[in-house]
Amino acid sequence: MADVPTPHQGAARYRQVAEELRHRILSGAIPPGSLLPSEATLMAEFAVARGTVREALSVLKSEGLTVSEKGRGTFARSAPPVRRLAADRYRAELEQVRSGELGTSFTVDQRIGWAEYHLDKTFNEVAADETRADLFGVALGTMLLERRFVFYAKGLPQQSSVSCLLLEMVAGTPIADPSNEPWPGGNTSQLYSLGHTITAVREQVRARMPNSAESETLRVPGGVPVVIITRQTYVEDRVVEVAEITIPADRVSLDYRIDLT
């Protein structure tokens, strides 16, 4: 029987087991996607009860290091590809509008072609609540076009968003018709088609744990938070779009440059 490392003397036994298995996963001794030893094997190796093994495995699952499949066992979780989000993604969208290229900032982020991209969509007309009214700088109750999207790359859900536009700007236009989504060039192209050129984008970023709907829709494993990006899109001094974008935190790297000169 292998010696069990005990870096923290006096630590609960299940934490010692979890620490050793964590080390094996992170070091690659248990490769991504590989099946962990069975409960019986771990009980024998570490000389512990089944309940101790299950507590250790629960810790690893809560940290997002493992996933469990009923009837198959517990697997080391495969690390998803991380995409870089930087300010130049919106400039890329402007270039797509000018060139007529089929794409959006999302396809640029994911490095995928138009044929590999699709989304789920739901459109509704809603009254601005206090939060949205404040972000737009409009009166409470101002009517908005609310668009709910789930974005897919190569068949897998990567992010969701709730994007709102001022209804007075888009009512009766092709932008208000969900059958026109996905729209090449995204919001930049849509607003340009109405004679509005985006001049600035402001983003506020925070993190939290996903709710049950987000976990299911985006296939977020236990222990993994989501990044929430609240976006305001400007034409000169006017906010013309507000969005809340949700991305699993282990799939994104936020990359910003701050010039001080």
In this structure, the number of other CB atoms found within 10 A of the CB of residue 122 comes to 11
Q: Assign 124 to helix, strand or coil.
A: strand
Task: From first to last of the 261 residues of the chain, give the pLDDT tens digit.
Answer: 445 444 444 468 999 999 999 999 888 899 988 899 999 999 999 999 999 999 999 888 887 788 888 888 898 887 666 666 666 666 666 666 666 666 677 777 777 887 888 899 999 999 999 999 999 999 999 999 999 999 998 888 999 999 999 999 999 999 999 999 998 888 888 998 999 999 999 999 999 999 989 999 998 887 889 999 999 999 999 999 999 999 999 888 888 776 776
DSSP string of 206-227, one letter each residue: EEE---HHHHHHHTPPTT--EE
Burial of 40 (0-12, 13-18, 19+ CB in 10 A): exposed
Task: List the alpha helices (DSSP H) in the chain.
Answer: 13-27, 39-46, 50-62, 88-99, 105-110, 130-136, 167-170, 186-193, 212-218
Domains along the chain with CATH numbers: 13-76 (1.10.10.10), 83-255 (3.40.1410.10)
Residue 232, strand partner residues: 202, 242
